[in-house]
Amino acid sequence: MTELTDLTAAQLIDGYRKGEFSPVDATRAALRRIEETEPAVNAFVRVDADDALARAEESARRWGRGEPAGLVDGVPVSVKDILLLRGGPTLRGSRTVRPEGAWDEDAPSVARLREHGAVFLGKTTTPEFGWKGVTDSPLSGVTRNPYDTSRTAGGSSGGSAVAVALGAGPLSLGTDGGGSVRIPAAFCGIFALKPTYGRVPLYPASAFGTLAHVGPMTRDAADAALTMDVISGPDSRDWSQLGPGSGSFRDALDGGVHGLRIAYSPSLGGQVAVQPGVAAAVRRAVERLAELGAYVEETDPDFTEPLEAFHTLWFSGAARVAQKLPAAQRELLDPGLREICGYGARYSALDYLAAVDVRMDLGRRMGRFHETYDLLVTPTLPLTAFEAGVEVPPRSGHRRWTGWTPFTYPFNLTQQPAASVPVGLDAAGLPVGLQLVAARHQDDLVLRAAHALYEAGAAGVAPPAM
């Protein structure tokens, strides 16, 4: 018999509607899953079982009357501990954030989920202030991969990826400033979407500025579309949000990929060394897209790696995070974060504006690229999950996490929608992710292509055996 923790959000909603089980059943199952797996993986910084069950009981009464509050009424969800969730502190993985206070405000995306009846299980782990591509922090320790607990879950939304992979709620909210939903999704075998910047409102504003996006982390593309229909609603607290979308993301799922023009770039023109197991799994999925009727051409986007510009913007944002901290509190920071804060503090305004120029040129280049191609496909990452507790793979020669994430952070610079789709396991049994990228505002196209892969059996991997 299928476990409730194996079901997607859409399947849970269908079961509630038919009276096959209740939100209380699903919430209890998710809480049991957390209790069973949390000692091994460390995905949550806070779990509020009493509140979750109370909300589930309210949802069950609504379903009993045939009056659900919204699209995800009764669905167990988790929230990365970067986003505000009223009723408890948002510590952002840092010992410098004081837990005292009212904590009486939701982030916009959280508020939309609450309005639609979601059941909040708790807050998931993050590196300090979401600064790097793996999930460990001085506050909460190391978050581990559910496929192999000696390895990293990725980051910075690592706790959310682990929660979804293990069935501790089918939906989670993450943030992505350089790959932070896509990296852990690839390492943990789930789906994640970084929407077009501004499509999901964000408040408080990120110190990393317009690099930072909020996105859904889910079992599949259909659940991500469902979540986007909830969280992409307007919120006046975000001055940079986009206007209302043109329609439902769920309604756009079923167009397939027949006739789409797809550019397949296996290594960004030879700039990236990709592990053979990753390359093979991604190529198989690309071949499936061609079999489904897409016009696939192996070609590369017109840019060289914009690492220096990204570092200028990213390190400056980190320096802004630490700017108001007294010296004693700065000593509490993750040593790597403290180091990049020092780099960021030395940039000038002209350095920052020069990085903005690079960003604008990259955006122009990708805009022209998408006049020819509907989608760009790459590996999400050039490797599978490595040792837990370190920023870079041992003996890789990389200094910072950006060295092993060359496929993800460029599309934060350009603000394009990008998703990671699980497309297989390597020889060690570790998940591989494929990245789909579209022009700005074409989030529905990314979801549609990803959904086509799921429908064709070319996406999704066996769950971890924990």
Q: Please state whether the peptide bond connecting residue 108 to the residue before it is cis, i.e. omega within 30 degrees of 0.
A: no
The strand pair at 144-145 and 213-218 is best described as unpaired
Q: Please provide residue 393's backbone torsions phi and psi, each rounded to the nearest 5 degrees.
A: -60, 135
Residue 359 CA from chain centroid, whole number: 22
Q: Does residue 458 sit in helix, strand or coil?
A: coil
**CA–CA dist 413, 402 (Å, integer):** 13
> Quick one: DSSP state of residue 402?
G
Nearest to 130 by CA among 401, 381, 434, 404: 401
**CA–CA dist 466, 463 (Å, integer):** 9
Q: Which strands sit side by side in the sheet containing 171-176, from one edge to the other?
A: 44-47, 119-124, 76-80, 171-176, 213-218, 191-194, 418-425, 431-438, 375-379, 261-264, 295-298
**CA–CA dist 77, 75 (Å, integer):** 6
Other CB atoms within 10 Å distance of the CB of residue 247 = 10
Residue count (the chain): 466
CA angle 147, 224, 169 (to 5 degrees): 50
Give me 389's structure tokens.
Answer: 């507790």
**CA–CA dist 183, 73 (Å, integer):** 29
**CA–CA dist 199, 240 (Å, integer):** 9
The strand pair at 295-298 and 261-264 is best described as parallel
Residue 160 CA from chain centroid, whole number: 8
| Residues taking part in catalysis | 80, 156, 180
Give me 284's structure tokens.
Answer: 């198989």
Name, in order, each residue with C-beta under 8 angstroms of 453's C-beta and a sequence gap of 6 or more: 221, 285, 288, 289, 421, 423, 434, 459
Q: Please state whether the peptide bond connecting residue 420 to the residue before it is cis, i.e. omega within 30 degrees of 0.
A: no
**CA–CA dist 366, 371 (Å, integer):** 9
Asked whether 74 and 26 are in contact (CB, 8 A), the reply is yes
**CA–CA dist 384, 406 (Å, integer):** 14
**CA–CA dist 98, 73 (Å, integer):** 32
